[in-house]
């Protein structure tokens, strides 16, 4: 059985032999003729699993040559590369399926005339019945319908994921400073142990150890907020954290981070491993509070050190407790 395919730039003659097909292609612009033989067993591998057998492949090539469906094409270049391409569209998603056959150039003999090609075409017309053509057409239509369904499902899944991501991005805002600039509260109970300066933004310990110093304003009950402290000396030890007003002795409602002699001791949320990061003069410790997510995160010189979940309760206040007399920190 022989199949003749004709396009403006080339012609294909496909001859069905025992368990294989013989393809002869003539490239009209150059006049070159190319040939190849494909076994039935290698159809799937040769066509990148687009066709399972010889019958499917012949029908697929015919549909592409006839441009039967949008996105179908069949091209032959002057080097003998025969390319089948199917571009499927579903909304904004496009999927391309293709394969290329490398044909070998054939030296034409004088006996191979146009009359022989016409005879082959007439023989094919006589041998192919309408029922076979209809069956192959139905198979091809079902194949494209299946591919379109798969692409449609992928589009729906991607749309859902994009919507979820967009919602998350719109809900999350970057950590921002408090609405009003933070400062040390000169009405704190232990204020006599500290010397405040720079409009209450710098605190220096002048007596005792670990006196409590509150920061204002209180942390809002929603949103993301941050405090940053700059080290003003060489060897520092301090506690930096947040507490619920009136719940200093309630461990679940105050959270802190401890440094001793410039080294992170890792006391965050009352339970953390030690770190070997050294804090030097000019180092910046940042505390970020996310009241929407209920998290507390610490950074040293823009490097995240530790974080924990916090219990949502009454409004929180930030605080510090310096350890060594003479130590000083500045809110920035």
CA–CA dist 282, 263 (Å, integer): 14
- 120 and 266 share a domain? no
> Is 169 contained in some domain?
no
Torsion sign, CA atoms 154, 159, 165, 167: negative
- 217 and 125 share a domain? no
- 289 and 236 share a domain? yes
- Residue-wise pLDDT for 224-274, tens only, equals 999 999 988 765 677 888 887 665 444 445 676 666 655 555 445 544 444
| Domain region containing 142 | 2-163
- 110 and 205 share a domain? no
Q: Taking the model in full, what pTM does it have?
A: 0.44
> Is 168 contained in some domain?
no
254: Cβ contacts below 8 Å, ≥ 6 apart? 241, 242, 243, 244, 247, 248
* Residue 214 pLDDT class (50, 70, 90 cuts): very high
Angle (CA) 22-24-29 rounded to 5° is 165
Q: What pLDDT does residue 42 have?
A: 92
Query: Can you say how many angstroms the Cα of residue 196 is from the centroid of all Cα atoms in its chain?
Result: 49
Residues 207-233 as b/e (b if ≥16 CB within 10 A, e otherwise) read eeeebbbbbbbbbeeeebbbbebbbbe
278: which DSSP letter? B
- 208 and 138 share a domain? no
- 142 and 6 share a domain? yes
- Residue-wise pLDDT for 46-69, tens only, equals 999 999 999 899 999 999 999 988
- 115 and 249 share a domain? no
CATH number at residue 242: 2.60.120.920
- 14 and 137 share a domain? yes
**Of 221, 248, 223, the residue nearest 319 (C-alpha):** 248
**Of 88, 123, 109, the residue nearest 13 (C-alpha):** 123
Cβ-based neighbour number of residue 246 at 10 Å: 9
> Is 123 contained in some domain?
yes
User: 268: which 2 tokens?
Assistant: 């965050």
> Is 246 contained in some domain?
yes
> Is 170 contained in some domain?
no
Q: What pLDDT does residue 261 have?
A: 53
Which of these three, 109, 138, 163, is where a domain ends? 163
> Is 206 contained in some domain?
yes
Q: Average pLDDT for residues 266-293, to the nearest whole number?
A: 67
CA–CA dist 79, 74 (Å, integer): 15
- 34 and 157 share a domain? yes
Angle (CA) 21-23-27 rounded to 5° is 170
CA–CA dist 142, 17 (Å, integer): 27
Averaging pLDDT over each range in 245-254, 291-300, 302-311, which range is the top one? Answer: 291-300
- 307 and 242 share a domain? yes
Indicate the burial class of 25 (C-beta count within 10 angstroms; 0-12, 13-18, 19 or more): buried
Give yes or no for residue 11 having a pLDDT over 90.
yes
> Is 281 contained in some domain?
yes
- 267 and 316 share a domain? yes
Split into its structural domains, the chain has a count of: 2
> Is 88 contained in some domain?
yes
- 206 and 298 share a domain? yes
């Amino acid at each position: 059985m022989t199949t003749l395919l004709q396009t403006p730039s080339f012609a294909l003659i496909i001859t069905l032999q025992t368990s294989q097909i013989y393809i002869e292609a003539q490239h009209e612009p150059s006049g070159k003729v190319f040939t190849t033989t494909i076994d039935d067993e290698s159809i799937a591998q040769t066509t990148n699993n687009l066709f399972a057998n010889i019958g499917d492949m012949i029908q697929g090539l015919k549909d592409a040559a006839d441009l039967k469906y949008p996105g179908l094409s069949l091209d032959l270049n002057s080097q003998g590369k025969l390319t089948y391409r199917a571009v499927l569209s579903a909304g904004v998603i496009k999927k391309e399926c293709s394969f290329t056959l490398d044909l070998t150039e054939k030296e034409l003999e004088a006996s191979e005339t146009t009359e022989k090609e016409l005879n082959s075409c007439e023989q094919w017309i006589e041998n192919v019945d309408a029922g076979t053509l209809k069956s192959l057409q139905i198979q091809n239509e079902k194949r494209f319908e299946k591919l379109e369904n798969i692409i449609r499902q992928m589009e729906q899944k991607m749309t859902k994921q994009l919507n979820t991501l967009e919602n998350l991005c719109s809900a999350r805002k970057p950590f921002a400073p408090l609405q009003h600039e933070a400062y040390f509260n000169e009405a704190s109970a232990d204020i006599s142990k500290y010397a405040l300066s720079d409009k209450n933004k710098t605190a220096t310990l002048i007596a005792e150890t670990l006196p409590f110093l509150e920061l204002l304003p209180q942390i809002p009950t929603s949103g993301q907020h941050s405090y940053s402290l700059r080290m003003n000396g060489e060897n520092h030890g301090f506690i930096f954290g947040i507490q619920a007003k009136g719940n200093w002795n309630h461990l679940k409602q105050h959270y802190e981070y401890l440094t001793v002699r410039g080294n992170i001791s890792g006391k965050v949320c009352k339970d953390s491993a030690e770190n070997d990061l050294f804090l030097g003069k000019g180092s910046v410790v940042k505390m970020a509070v996310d009241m929407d997510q209920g998290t507390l995160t610490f950074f040293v010189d823009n490097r995240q050190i530790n974080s924990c979940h916090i219990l949502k309760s009454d409004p929180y206040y930030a605080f510090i407790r310096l350890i060594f007399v003479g130590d000083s920190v500045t809110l920035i």
